[in-house]
Amino acid sequence: MTKKTILPKKKPPRGKYKWTLLGLLCVAFFFHQGDRAIYGVVATEIEADLNLTKSDIGLVAAILFWTIALMTPVAGYLGDVFRKKVMITGALIFWSLTTTLTALSRGVFSLAMLRSVATGGSESFYAPPAYALLANFHKKTRAMAMSIHQAALYLGIMTSGFFGGFIAKQWGWRSVFFVYGGVGIIIGALFIYLLKDERDFADEDGEEQAETKPVWENPLHSLSIIFRKPTSLLLTIGFTAIVYVNNAYLTFAPGFLEEKFDISREQAGTYAMFYHHAAALVGVLIGGRLSDKLASKVVGGRLRIQMVTMFLGAAAIVYMSLGNTLVAACVGMTVFGFFRGLYESNTHASLFDVIEPKYRSSAVGAMVMFAFLIGATAPWLMGVLADSGKTLSSIFASYALAYVIGGFAVAIALIFFFKKDRIIEELD
């Protein structure tokens, strides 16, 4: 009897798979952010159906962001220890399941538990391992890869404004959560077979395997990494400013247009999500290529882009808020989105310029924790101020101050600390 020869399974080339990986993560991030944005799109309908106040709507959003802040550091640490593909796939399936269950909410408590605690907690386990995995596969093309990944965020939010508004108009707000959650579960099942990480490309002789085995370290040591370097701490302050304004925008921008210009809920959701995020998409794609080129020629090139865009973004927020016509408001949203995209094309690439590879997932977790603990108060505070009689227009204008503070933080990092803190990484 002839002995059957079993050939070892051929592993796909790492260099080629890095683009497949980017495509898969873009799909996941599209639904990650679209899922998060649909709450703002149907917030006024939820408010009316469940007999809630604007403070209640803002509080549910705040609890979501606080949950993300508390859980992301845990996800960041575990992302440096366990297999990243398992964490990403598990997060995708679980947040999609809890999104589906959100449709069953009957009051502010159940809405907060299902939407904020369950969904927000599971979504937290996506970003840290995903960004670290991208950084490990992309070195020369790091900012470009992360920009394309960020573009999926904008596409997810843009389409949520249209599709979420359309589905809600046809079948009610609960159907929106059923649709987004159901599609996410299907995609998560596909990820079980398609997503790979570093260990799938380990050499047969174990040479690379040693670098990918779990290494347990003191969690406080790993998670405090951003506080041990002035540059990473100041970049975190800049990111916090971005998150602060974004959280308020996602929750109340459709309501701002609806209140100020007396347009339909569907129109308000589409305009608020589309114009801003379409421009952000253009900005992030331009910013990624620009950042990689500038960073290779100018020390602190990424930080220079971030500093300038924060100051210009602040001016755009004021213009958006105080414009007297719908066209002016949409122009302001568009310009604001473009500068936001330029900044966010560098968010993680600039952080990784000063963070060692083995701590990158933890660093993302710590950065998100810091940003969302503070940023979570933005929609709640906006709701409280709106209930007290202030217009959403004037409140949004005042939030431009957050961008000014962030711009100064990045400027200080660039001028005083970056040259000392940066890490020179060998490119492949």
C-beta of residue 207 within 8 angstroms of C-beta of residue 341:
no
C-beta of residue 423 within 8 angstroms of C-beta of residue 353:
yes
Q: How far is CA 20 from CA 63, 137, 183, 186, 200, in A?
A: 35, 11, 20, 19, 14
* Mean pLDDT, residues 400-426: 91
C-beta of residue 352 within 8 angstroms of C-beta of residue 135:
yes
Q: Which range, 8-17, 90-99, 217-226, is most confident?
A: 90-99
What DSSP string describes 353-371? TSS-GGGHHHHHHHHHHHH
Give the largest Cα separation in the chain, rounded.
Answer: 88
Give the percent of the chain with pLDDT over 70. Answer: 90
Residues 6+ positions from 120 with CB-CB distance below 8 Å: 63, 64, 65, 67, 68, 71
Average the pLDDT over each of 7-21, 35-49, 341-355 and give the range with the smallest value.
7-21
d(CA 190, CA 181): 15
d(CA 144, CA 373): 29
* pLDDT exceeds cutoff 50 at 208: no
Domains of the chain with bracketed CATH: 17-421 (1.20.1250.20)
C-beta of residue 195 within 8 angstroms of C-beta of residue 85:
yes
**Tokens describing residue 181:** 């959650």
d(CA 311, CA 403): 7
d(CA 403, CA 240): 9
* pLDDT exceeds cutoff 80 at 220: no
In the numeric block, the tokens 């069953």 are attached to 104
